[in-house]
Structure 1
Amino acid sequence: MSRFTHFVAIDWSGAVGARHKAIAMAVADASGGPPMLVTREKGWSREEVLHVLRDDLPQDTLVGLDLGISLPFVDEGAFFPGWEGSPPDARSLWDLVERISGEDEHLSVSSFVDHPRISRHFRRHGGREGDLFGGGRGRFRVTEIAQAQQGCKPYSNFNLVGAAQVGKSSLTGMRMLHALQGEVPVWPIDPLPATGPVIVEIYTTLAAIAGGRTAGRAKMRSYEELNMALRNLGSEPVGGTGPIDDHSSDALVTAAWLRTVAHDPALWSPEAMTGEIARTEGWTFGVP
């Protein structure tokens, strides 16, 4: 039995602008029933999501954020190897992102990715690949390597190009995580507390696979596909027929999946996650 009473999944966005149709939030109640979308008429702003996480969560809520809570560190022994300003751990990385991008509107991070020294590590639009990006698909965290071993296709958080990239989402998310310091613990950078809300990183493909999809067919764009996955997770279906946007379906199926697996102690103690990894790179909940 999980200690959590509610399970929230948030499909995040790093796109430019004040409001984002790509941000979706869903909540599942531990007592059962279908997961439910929490909507805003004109789309969520990142600041509104921050407000919910800081001020409006039920006491014992598990929150899954679909973003990377850190950057690769273990492979090179640093986030930005060769730079004396490279932070020593994830919280210091969040601090750095906020210090450099604090004046950017809507929790955006343009100043960070355009920083003369830091930009050398990123692949940016317009064919701008930093000389320290590393080539190929870029650098990966240990948890992302483990995701690939499960059949997923993770992207490097240093890659900011392409529809499937998660780099911008991750960096904007770090500004939100910085603002939540002292308010909501972020596992595994913080230990799992006995009570209260907790934030974890999620990868919605893992939830889709648990719901009977494949990694290549993880996106569900109809209520029929979504409800089949929910039934496979032991959840009641949601109301509706026909098309549904994949941001909403990602959030709904992942909220239901969190409710199903949060009680599993093995997922809170991944075999490959050392103390150094937890402190620097973090981990994706659900990766064993």
Structure 2
Amino acid sequence: MSTYVFSDVHGHRATLERVLERVSPCAEDVVFCLGDMIDRGPDPVGVMRVVRSLPNVRVLKGNHEDLMLDALDHKDDVVSQANWAINGGMATLSGLEGASDDEASELIGWGRNLPLSAHIEVAGRPYIMAHAGIRPGGPLPADGAWNDCALDALIGEQTPDDLLWIRDEFWSVPTGLLNERGEGPIVVAGHTPTPYLTSMTDEFDRPVRNSDGIAQMVRVGACDATGDVADRWDIDSGAAGGAGFGQITMVRLDDGEEFAEPVRDGE
């Protein structure tokens, strides 16, 4: 069994399908999607269909799913409608209107019930998953043991806004969760396309763009205090920016291998 994580597909169904074809997750594998399936790209509803069909998938809500639900719940609220529209929501609305009433209702209901965070242990390492990240400074276990109770307590201190929207306050400072031996949970998040991180930190394990100039995932924060282990992974490799800017990256937590496909023209 392997564990995979990806995020921020933003309507690029064809690109996602190419990544999945390479990875070919089986029924025993765990696949995490950290939200922002929708908006901006050409086929947001198609992305929702693909993600929902994956075996053993665990999907988190992103800020774009939250924007969608707010707009659909407050159709007479000009601010809610404008917030969704300016963030690419018309592509998603068009897709929902093109689906059958039953399917649209089912997809919206599914999105409404998505959790905001998750955690899992892989190869002896705990990982915390959230769409945007966490606010540093949460409770640490007194005995240093990051069991389920300790992870639940830390996540329980986060607000929905933290988990869905946080940026600078997360990426610009250490989480404080790793000790000097590099032991402790790593936080995996999306939400912030990696090129945007250059205004928040310079503690990258690699450039934020690959040799072709395309955004790529980065690991942040490795230093002496963390045993040279990066405490934050940004897997939003810029698919929202489309062809020539971004790609979709899926990372396997078991060994850190990355599977990435750039967004192509027209998809």
Same fold? TM cut 0.5 = no
Structure with higher strand content: 2
